[in-house]
Amino acid sequence: MSVSDHSEIDDKALLILSGHQLVEVRLRDILARICREPEELKAARLTFDQAWRLCCAVRGGSHEIRETLWASIERLDEARNKIEPSLDPGSLDELIVSVSDSLLNLRGIAHETSLDRFRMATIGICSYLDSVRGSVHLVQAYQRDDSSDDTDTDDTSEDGPPLQS
């Protein structure tokens, strides 16, 4: 294997790792926004896989979203996991193409190289997650209703649903 071959593998691996990190930051931010105690998430030590599956459970989406976006996130994690433990991950082209194929084919976007397709897929995933993060529908769990009357005498806990008597 020549020096240029190692450089090409390093570039592809770096692209996968940086794409993974960009997505992971957004997933963790979404989870932090719905938690009353987001600092507890750090103690939970969620893996990327657990974080994206929780976000998928929170956001849900149409069949199309599940089959494209969430599937692309899953493939991104698989690609990252394949390159991390070894010095020679083999052909990264298949990994890069697998992340972007379903997402970009749906949109009808054609790009010259697999690296361009991967970059566009990563931008699309991050844009979607940014829209979820900023959505008015993404609310904190057990969010208090500030419009309620303070003189209410029902048996409710300050931190949650009505208490049982």
Q: Where are the domains of the chain?
A: 3-133
Nearest to 125 by CA among 57, 55, 58, 38: 55
Between 20 and 147, residue with greater pLDDT: 20
Task: Give the integer Cα–Cα distance in Å for 57 and 45.
Answer: 18
What is the CB neighbour count within 10 angstroms for residue 126? 15
Do residues 99 and 121 make contact, with C-beta atoms less than 8 angstroms apart? yes
Do residues 108 and 117 make contact, with C-beta atoms less than 8 angstroms apart? no
Nearest to 164 by CA among 151, 143, 155: 155
What confidence tens digit (pLDDT) does each residue in 65-89 have?
878 888 899 999 998 988 866 655 5
Q: What percent of the chain clears pLDDT 90, i.e. is strictly above it?
A: 27
Nearest to 10 by CA among 98, 88, 118, 77: 88
pLDDT at 156: 45
Cα-flanking dihedrals φ and ψ of residue 142, to 5°?
55, 40
